[in-house]
């Protein structure tokens, strides 16, 4: 089979993983609504000028339709506050933020209780499409720390977005201290967008020419649909299917997104992109801490759980070996084989039309089954 | 990479690349598990070529290669009475022989092609009422003695037992006794190299073997 046929198939797969554009719109409305709430005059956080920025796959344009129909979409945002780390303890900030969100949920008639996570609060929306929003409170990082990040080779434009986050597991969670966990979700998002935008240019120009957007700056990242973003969607879906029964062991999206972005080298079609990414992505894992650093805050390790739970690293490697193999064999498949394989690996049902450019062999050849093995000698079977 | 050593030793990609219907499944305990179908077309000298497929569950323990891979046939085709271990795992050969084979080449592909495929191929022939191409061992200790003796050239159980005795004795003592091959010479003047070599390997095996 020629490569073009595989490209078409993979494009069809990603198309069917995409979510309706209206979901992105809805996500954006949610963030605005929370921002308005936090900035209203009665808000206990208003004096810290809360700044709400979307995060995660909805921001990067790498959302994948969940494999379970009842599954919820994950929305993420970051709420950055202008205050000093020694104004409040991590716990005080977290609780204050939680109170505001509770009031928000109540004012908006949201029935499920607010859920506390180690670093963020989770709001459950019950619409016809279920969402939950993980909202991360944080404090803009102090200049000395930003400087230290710059000294590690991160451009100032990205480093300046570093924040201090609260974490229930942190030793200083309950005490006043300058020592908080450093994170940089907005820096990462910016880094991702900078790397991706270059490859989005042709599509951005086309969208503007088609009068869908006024200028290229107006096109949101989820409309970019670069081979990188689409490869990440494909890889996440393969992961979802492989770890359907054991989602707690699955490689996390941030690791896949981070490594894929490093590994992408501008391939023009989805097949070259995803196979290239897979062949290189492992080389961006460090042998020691930080194993998978945030490129805009190198002390933040997306694989921080690997050291405590080596199973997570092992499962990443197992997934990586398997996805590499699954992609490599696609071009050897017949139409029926492709149909089966796409269902099995991505849980996507291709239409007749989408498969039409792949041929089945005209004659069922009496080909050998599996690899041919000549056995010169072998252990004799035994039993206890 | 720390979590990588077992995977690297097994050269796992090479195996799933050749046996494409065998798939890695998420690991819950550190063991590496593959599930799926082994398709093969096998032949051996003096035996006809044959294509077949078996549903397989293959588990490689974390302590590999000290502990051996555990293989189950999950299609319900191979009966209990055929060569199986506890819990119906396939008994692919004497543990010492499997250990030697893995020591020489620990890759998973080697294990599949040298051990699993020959076992399945032999079963396919057996199922068709034909002779097993590589023979089979008696069950229990007797089979293990035969197998070890055979590595030294024994062709009958009595000779095999005599060789095993020589391997188990201390070198100085064994060398003074008659050679099990029946030459009439003492072992020290006859098969001493072979016996002494195997003694070293066998002791290593006993000390390394996972309990």
What one-character-per-residue DSSP string does A142-209 give? PHHHHHHHHHTT--HHHHTT-EEE--TTSTTTTS--S--EEE-HHHHHHHHHHHHHHHHHHHHHHHHH
User: In chain B, which residue's Cα lies nearest the Cα of A377?
Assistant: B134
Please state, in angstroms and rounded to a whole number, the distance separating the CA atoms of residues B204 and B100. Answer: 10
Residue A1 has pLDDT above 90, yes or no: no
User: A3-327 in CATH: which number?
Assistant: 3.30.460.10
Per DSSP bridges, beta strands B47-60 and B32-44 are: antiparallel
Specify the 3-state DSSP secondary structure of A50: coil
**Could you tell me the pLDDT band of residue B2, with boundaries at 50, 70 and 90?**
very low
Residue B84 has pLDDT above 90, yes or no: no
Torsion of CA B101, B104, B107, B112, to 10 degrees: -20
What number of residues does chain A have?
384
Q: What are phi and psi of B19, to 5 degrees?
A: -105, 85
Exposed, middle or buried: residue A162 (CB in 10 Å: 0-12, 13-18, 19+)?
buried
**pLDDT tens column, A229-275:** 999 999 999 999 999 999 999 999 999 999 999 999 999 999 999 99
> Which residues, in sequence order, are CB contacts of A72 under 8 Å at separation 6+?
A66, A124, A130, A131, A132
Please state, in angstroms and rounded to a whole number, the distance separating the CA atoms of residues A258 and A263. Answer: 9
Please state, in angstroms and rounded to a whole number, the distance separating the CA atoms of residues A64 and A129. Answer: 14
Out of A325, A374, A375, the one facing B13 most closely (by C-beta) is A325
**pLDDT tens column, A186-235:** 999 999 999 999 999 999 999 999 999 999 999 999 999 999 999 999 99
Fill in the DSSP letter of residue A291. S
Give Cα A269 to chain centroid, integer Å: 20
Give the number of other CB atoms < 10 A from CB of residue A319. 21
User: In chain B, which residue's Cα lies nearest the Cα of A284?
Assistant: B1
> Which residues, in sequence order, are CB contacts of A52 under 8 Å at separation 6+?
A31, A32, A34, A35, A38, A77, A78, A79
**pLDDT tens column, B62-83:** 999 889 999 999 999 999 888 7
Task: Indicate the domain borders of chain B.
Answer: 2-94+105-127, 141-208
Mean pLDDT in residue range B152-171: 90
Contact predicate A45/A11, CB 8 Å: no
Please report residues of A whose CB lies closer than 8 A to that of B92: 379, 381
Assigned token pair, B141: 């200790």
**CB contact residues (below 8 A), chain B span 64-93, against chain A:** 82-86, 90-93
What pTM value is reported for the model?
Answer: 0.93
- The three-state (H, E, C) secondary structure of A254-268, written as one string: HHHHHHHHHHCCCCC
Top CATH class of B2-94+105-127 equals: alpha beta
Please state, in angstroms and rounded to a whole number, the distance separating the CA atoms of residues A238 and A274. Answer: 12
Contact predicate B145/B47, CB 8 Å: no
Fill in the DSSP letter of residue A306. T
Q: Would an 8 Å CB–CB cutoff place A107 in contact with chain B?
A: no
- The three-state (H, E, C) secondary structure of chain B, written as one string: CHHHHHHHHHCHHHHHHHCCCEEEECCCCCCEEEEEEEEEEEEECCEEEEEEEEEEEEEECCCCCCCCCEEEECCCCCCCCCCECHHHCECCCCHHHHHHHHHHCCCHHHHHHHHHHHHHHHHHHHHCCCCCCCCCCCCCHHHHHHHHHHHCCCCCHHHHHHHHHHHHCCHHHHHHCECCCCCCCEHHHCCHHHHHHHHHHHHHHHHHCCC
Angle between helices A270-281 and A3-17 (to 10 degrees): 80
Per DSSP bridges, beta strands A372-374 and B22-25 are: unpaired
Task: Tell me whether residues B101 and A379 touch, CB distance under 8 A.
Answer: yes
**Could you tell me the pLDDT band of residue A68, with boundaries at 50, 70 and 90?**
confident
Task: Tell me whether residues B26 and A317 touch, CB distance under 8 A.
Answer: no
**A352 sits in which H/E element:** helix A352-355
Nearest Cα of chain A lies from the Cα of B85 at a distance, in angstroms, of 6
Q: Would an 8 Å CB–CB cutoff place A286 in contact with chain B?
A: no
CA nearest neighbour of B153 among B174, B180, B185, B133: B180
**A309 sits in which H/E element:** none
**pLDDT tens column, A271-308:** 999 999 999 999 999 999 999 999 999 999 999 999 99
What one-character-per-residue DSSP string does A55-89 give? EHHHHHT-----SSTTPPEEEEEEEEE-S-TTTS-
Q: Which residues does residue A163 pair with via DSSP β-bridges, in sequence order?
A: A140, A183
- pLDDT at site B65: 86
Residue labelled with tokens 């990040």: A149
Contact predicate A159/A145, CB 8 Å: no
Specify the 3-state DSSP secondary structure of A211: coil
Please state, in angstroms and rounded to a whole number, the distance separating the CA atoms of residues B57 and A141. Answer: 52
Out of A246, A287, A321, the one facing B1 most closely (by C-beta) is A287
Please report residues of B whose CB lies closer than 8 A to that of A381: 82-83, 90-93, 119, 122, 132, 136-137
Q: How far is CA A345 from CA A121, A340, B14, in A?
A: 33, 9, 20
User: In chain B, which residue's Cα lies nearest the Cα of A380?
Assistant: B136
Angle between helices B141-151 and B192-208 (to 10 degrees): 130
What is the percent of chain B with per-residue pLDDT over 90, rounded to a whole number? 72
- Chosen from B26, B102, B126, B160 to mutate, greatest number of chain A CBs within 10 A: B26
Task: Tell me whether residues B3 and A243 touch, CB distance under 8 A.
Answer: no
Out of B1, B4, B84, the one facing A383 most closely (by C-beta) is B84
State chain B's mean pLDDT as an integer: 91
Give Cα A357 to chain centroid, integer Å: 32
- pLDDT at site A367: 56
What is the percent of chain A with per-residue pLDDT over 70, rounded to a whole number? 98
User: In chain A, which residue's Cα lies nearest the Cα of B52?
Assistant: A369
Give the largest Cα separation in chain B, rounded: 59
Interface pTM, i.e. ipTM: 0.89
State chain A's mean pLDDT as an integer: 94
Q: Would an 8 Å CB–CB cutoff place B206 in contact with chain A?
A: no
Please report residues of B whose CB lies closer than 8 A to that of A285: 1
Residue A383 has pLDDT above 80, yes or no: no
> Which residues, in sequence order, are CB contacts of A189 under 8 Å at separation 6+?
A53, A55, A59, A60
Specify the 3-state DSSP secondary structure of A366: coil
Give Cα A378 to chain centroid, integer Å: 48
**A134 sits in which H/E element:** strand A130-140
Exposed, middle or buried: residue B83 (CB in 10 Å: 0-12, 13-18, 19+)?
buried
Nearest Cα of chain B lies from the Cα of A65 at a distance, in angstroms, of 22
């Amino acid at each position: 089979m020629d490569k073009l046929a595989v490209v078409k198939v993979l494009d069809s797969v990603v198309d069917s993983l995409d979510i309706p554009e209206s979901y992105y719109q809805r996500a954006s409305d949610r963030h605005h609504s929370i921002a308005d709430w936090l900035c209203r005059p009665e808000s206990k956080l208003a004096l810290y000028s809360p700044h709400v920025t979307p995060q995660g796959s909805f921001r990067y344009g790498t959302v994948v339709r969940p494999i379970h129909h009842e599954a919820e979409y994950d929305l993420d945002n970051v709420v950055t506050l202008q205050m000093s780390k020694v104004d409040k303890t991590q716990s005080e900030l977290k609780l204050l933020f939680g109170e505001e969100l509770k009031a928000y949920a109540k004012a908006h008639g949201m029935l499920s209780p607010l859920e506390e996570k180690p670093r963020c609060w989770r709001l459950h929306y019950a619409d016809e499409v279920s969402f939950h929003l993980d909202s991360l409170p944080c404090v803009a990082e102090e200049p000395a720390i930003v400087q230290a990040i710059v000294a590690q080779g991160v451009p100032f434009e990205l480093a300046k977005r570093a924040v201090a986050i609260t974490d229930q597991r942190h030793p200083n969670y309950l005490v006043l201290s300058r020592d908080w966990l450093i994170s940089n979700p907005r820096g990462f998002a910016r880094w991702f967008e900078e790397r991706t935008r270059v490859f989005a240019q042709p599509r951005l120009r086309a969208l503007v020419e088609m009068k869908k957007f006024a200028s290229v700056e107006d096109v949101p990242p989820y409309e970019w649909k670069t081979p990188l973003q689409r490869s990440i969607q494909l890889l996440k879906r393969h992961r979802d299917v492989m770890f359907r029964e054991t989602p707690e062991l699955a490689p996390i999206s941030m690791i896949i997104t981070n490594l894929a972005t490093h590994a992408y080298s501008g391939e023009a079609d989805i097949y070259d992109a995803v196979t290239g990414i897979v062949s290189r992505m492992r080389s961006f894992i460090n042998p020691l801490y930080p194993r998978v650093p945030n490129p805009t805050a190198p002390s933040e390790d997306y694989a921080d759980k690997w050291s405590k739970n080596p199973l997570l690293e092992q499962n990443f490697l197992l997934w990586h070996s398997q996805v590499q193999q699954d992609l490599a064999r696609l071009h050897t498949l017949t139409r029926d084989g492709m149909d089966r394989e796409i269902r099995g690996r991505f849980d996507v049902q291709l239409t007749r039309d989408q498969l039409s450019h792949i041929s089945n062999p005209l004659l069922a050849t009496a080909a050998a089954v599996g690899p041919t093995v000549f056995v010169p000698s072998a252990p004799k079977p035994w039993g206890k | 990479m720390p979590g990588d050593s077992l995977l690297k030793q097994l050269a796992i990609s090479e195996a799933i690349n050749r046996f494409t219907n065998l798939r890695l499944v998420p690991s819950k305990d550190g063991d590496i598990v593959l599930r799926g179908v082994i398709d093969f077309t096998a032949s051996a000298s003096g035996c006809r070529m044959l294509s077949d497929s078996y549903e397989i569950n293959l588990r490689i323990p974390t302590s590999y290669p000290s502990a051996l891979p555990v293989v189950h046939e999950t299609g319900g085709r191979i009966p209990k009475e055929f060569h199986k271990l506890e819990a119906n795992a396939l008994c692919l050969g004497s543990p010492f022989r499997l250990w030697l084979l893995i020591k020489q080449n620990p890759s998973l592909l080697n294990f599949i092609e040298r051990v699993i495929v020959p076992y399945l191929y032999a079963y396919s022939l057996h199922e068709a009422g034909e002779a097993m191409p590589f023979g089979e061992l008696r069950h229990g200790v007797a089979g293990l003695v035969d197998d070890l003796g055979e590595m030294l050239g024994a062709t009958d159980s009595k000779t095999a037992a005599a060789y095993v005795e020589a391997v188990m004795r201390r070198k100085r003592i064994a060398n003074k006794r008659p050679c099990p091959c029946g030459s009439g010479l003492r072992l020290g003047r006859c098969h001493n190299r072979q016996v002494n070599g195997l003694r070293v390997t066998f002791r290593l095996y006993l000390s390394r073997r996972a309990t």
